[in-house]
Amino acid sequence: MCHGGCGVLVHVQDDRVVKVQGDPGSPLSRGRLCPKGRASLEQLYHPDRLKYPVKRAGGRGEGRWERTSWEEALDTIAEKIKRIREDLGIQSVAIGTGTGRHHFMHVIRFANALGTPNWCEPGTAQCFIPRIITGIMTYGDLPIVDYYGRVNPECLLVWGHNPIVSGPDGEIQFRVKDCLVRGTKLIVVDPRRTEMARRADLWLQIRPGTDAALALGMMQVIIEEDLYDRQFVEKWTVGFDRLVDRVAEYPPERVAEITWVPAETIREAARLFAVTKPAALEWGVALEQTPNCLQTVRAVALLPGITGNIDIPGGWITGMHLVPEPDVLEGNLSREMREKRLGAQEFRALSGPDAFFPSAHAPTLFDAMLTGEPYPIKAFLVFGNNALLTYAQSRRVRDALASLDFLAVMDLYMTPTAELADIVLPAASWLEVDQITALPFIANNVVLAQQKVVRIEECRQDEEVFVELARRLDLPVGTEDLTEVLEAQLGPLGIGLDDLRRRGSVAAPIRYRKYEEDGFRTGSGKVELASGYLDHLGYDPLPYFQEPPESPTSSPDLAKQYPLVLTTGGRSQFFFHSEFRQLASLRRRHDAPIVEIHPDTARLCGIREGEWVWIESPRGRIRQRARLTDGIDARVVHVEHGWWFPEDPSPEHGVWEANANLLTNSGPPYDPAVGTYQLRALLCRVRPAAEGGPEWAA
pLDDT greater than 60 at residue 663 = yes
Query: What CA–CA distance (Å, rounded) separates 115 from 122?
Result: 21
Asked whether residue 30 is domain-assigned, the answer is no
According to DSSP, the residues that pair with 665 across neighbouring strands are: 678
- pLDDT given at position 172: 75
How does the average pLDDT of the chain come out, rounded?
95
Please say whether the dihedral angle defined by the alpha carbons of residues 667, 672, 677 and 680, taken in this order, is positive or negative.
negative
- pLDDT given at position 697: 66
Residue range 376-407, pLDDT digits in tens:
999 999 999 999 999 999 999 999 999 999 99
Q: How long, in residues, is the chain? A: 698
Beta carbons of 146 and 113 less than 8 angstroms apart: no
Amino acid present at 55: K
Amino acid present at 167: G
Q: Same domain for 410 and 520?
A: no
| HSE (side-chain half, CA atoms, 13 Å) at 452 | 16
Q: Read off the CATH number of the domain in which 159 is found.
A: 3.40.228.10
192 φ/ψ angles, rounded to the nearest 5 degrees: -110, 150
What is residue 77's three-state secondary structure?
helix
Residue range 261-314, pLDDT digits in tens:
999 999 999 999 999 999 999 999 999 999 999 999 999 999 999 999 999 999
pLDDT greater than 60 at residue 698 = no
> What's the whole-number mean pLDDT along residues 544-559?
98
Q: Same domain for 334 and 185?
A: no
According to DSSP, the residues that pair with 435 across neighbouring strands are: 450
Residue range 120-169, pLDDT digits in tens:
999 899 999 999 999 999 999 999 999 988 999 999 999 999 988 887 66
pTM for the whole structure: 0.96
Q: Same domain for 611 and 675?
A: yes
pLDDT greater than 90 at residue 57 = yes
- pLDDT given at position 4: 75
Q: Same domain for 171 and 315?
A: yes
pLDDT greater than 90 at residue 696 = no
| HSE (side-chain half, CA atoms, 13 Å) at 487 | 7
- pLDDT given at position 164: 85
Chain centroid to CA 191: 19
- pLDDT given at position 695: 74
Q: Same domain for 568 and 585?
A: yes
Q: Same domain for 338 and 477?
A: yes
- pLDDT given at position 269: 98
Q: Same domain for 65 and 114?
A: yes
Asked whether residue 172 is domain-assigned, the answer is yes
Query: What CA–CA distance (Å, rounded) separates 195 from 198?
Result: 5
According to DSSP, the residues that pair with 54 across neighbouring strands are: 67, 424
- pLDDT given at position 131: 96
Asked whether residue 132 is domain-assigned, the answer is no
Residue range 557-575, pLDDT digits in tens:
999 999 999 999 888 889 9
Closest C-alpha among 540, 522, 541, 520 to residue 239: 541
> H/E element holding 501?
helix 497-503
Domain boundary among 492, 507, 522: 507
Q: What is the largest CA-CA distance in the chain?
A: 70
Q: Same domain for 379 and 465?
A: yes
Domain that holds residue 385: 54-127+323-439+446-507
- pLDDT given at position 169: 66
Q: How is 528-575 classified by DSSP, letter by letter? A: ESS-HHHHHHTS-SS------SSSTTT-HHHHHHS-EEEEE----TT-
Asked whether residue 155 is domain-assigned, the answer is yes
- pLDDT given at position 168: 67
Q: Same domain for 227 and 371?
A: no
- pLDDT given at position 166: 80
> What's the whole-number mean pLDDT along residues 637-645?
97
In which band, very low, low, confident or very high, does the pLDDT at 12 lie, cut at 50, 70 and 90? very high
Beta carbons of 561 and 181 less than 8 angstroms apart: no
pLDDT greater than 90 at residue 361 = yes
Beta carbons of 520 and 140 less than 8 angstroms apart: yes
Asked whether residue 663 is domain-assigned, the answer is yes
In which band, very low, low, confident or very high, does the pLDDT at 170 lie, cut at 50, 70 and 90? low
More confident of the two residues 64 and 3: 64
Query: What CA–CA distance (Å, rounded) separates 117 from 119?
Result: 6
pLDDT greater than 60 at residue 458 = yes
Asked whether residue 20 is domain-assigned, the answer is no
Asked whether residue 450 is domain-assigned, the answer is yes
Q: Same domain for 610 and 646?
A: yes
Query: What CA–CA distance (Å, rounded) separates 276 from 229?
Result: 12
Asked whether residue 13 is domain-assigned, the answer is no
The 3-state secondary structure of 339-388, one letter per residue:
HHCCCCCCCCCCCCCCCCCCCCCHHHHHHHHHHCCCCCCCEEEEECCCHH
- pLDDT given at position 693: 79
Q: Same domain for 147 and 213?
A: yes
Q: How many domains does the chain have?
A: 3
- pLDDT given at position 5: 80
Q: Same domain for 398 and 313?
A: no
